[in-house]
Amino acid sequence: MDRHDCACAWPALLIGGVKMMHLMLKAADEYPPGAVYQLSFIDASSLLLFSLFLGLSLWNGQRLAIHARYMVCTVLIILPPAITRLLFFIPWFDSFAKTLNGSFVAIEVVLLLLLVDDRRMGRLQPSYPLAIGLFLLLHLTMNLAGQWLWWHILMDHFASL
């Protein structure tokens, strides 16, 4: 897949993600109270991070080491939903909040291991520190976003479109 293919596929992924958010918000009654606001925040943030990492990867296409690391970050941003579902099979993870937070901790641990490996190889690229910072920010804010009135208003307006 070359730059042109990525540039063509990205809008389809973005539109699909936004459409999924819209459908979820319209079906808010089928979710636990307030859950759609937290999930829509995670989805919107993930779409932004995916776009950022893909853009940085394409921007650094001639610098293979940096390009590859940003592409790894695009994969990591889509893993939390799968990890969240997987964690329900572990008895201690007995609530959605635990599994959701656990999935982000798992991604952050993977990023830390990748960062340590980069450092061990002698050259620390900017991609993993940036990704860890952004994942930590998302992890911290996702637990608060469901209570933000401005986010509720924005998502209610989006759902009404």
What's the pLDDT tens digit per position in 80-133? 999 999 999 999 999 999 999 999 999 999 999 999 999 998 888 899 999 999
Q: Are the C-beta atoms of residues 55 and 44 closer than 8 Å to each other?
A: no
Q: Which residue has the tokens 């941003």?
A: 77
DSSP assignment string, 105-126: HHHHHHHHHHHHHHHHTT---S
Kindly indicate the confidence band of residue 10, based on its pLDDT and cuts at 50, 70 and 90. Answer: confident
Helices 96-120 and 64-77, interaxial angle, to 10°? 170
CA dist 101 → 38, 71, 81, 87, 144 (Å): 12, 23, 11, 10, 12
Q: How many structural domains are present in the chain? A: 1
State the DSSP code for 129. H
Distance of CA 64 to the CA centre of its chain: 23
SS3 state of residue 142: helix
For residue 102, give its domain range.
Answer: 3-160
Whole-prediction pTM value? 0.91
DSSP assignment string, 46-58: HHHHHHHHHHHHH
Distance of CA 141 to the CA centre of its chain: 12
State the DSSP code for 63. S
| d(C-alpha 41, C-alpha 82), whole Å | 17
pLDDT of residue 8: 72
Segment 118-157, tens digit of pLDDT: 999 888 889 999 999 999 999 999 999 999 999 999 999 9
* Residues belonging to the chain: 161
Residue 107, burial from CB neighbour count under 10 angstroms (0-12, 13-18, 19+): buried
Kindly indicate the confidence band of residue 13, based on its pLDDT and cuts at 50, 70 and 90. Answer: confident
pLDDT of residue 33: 87
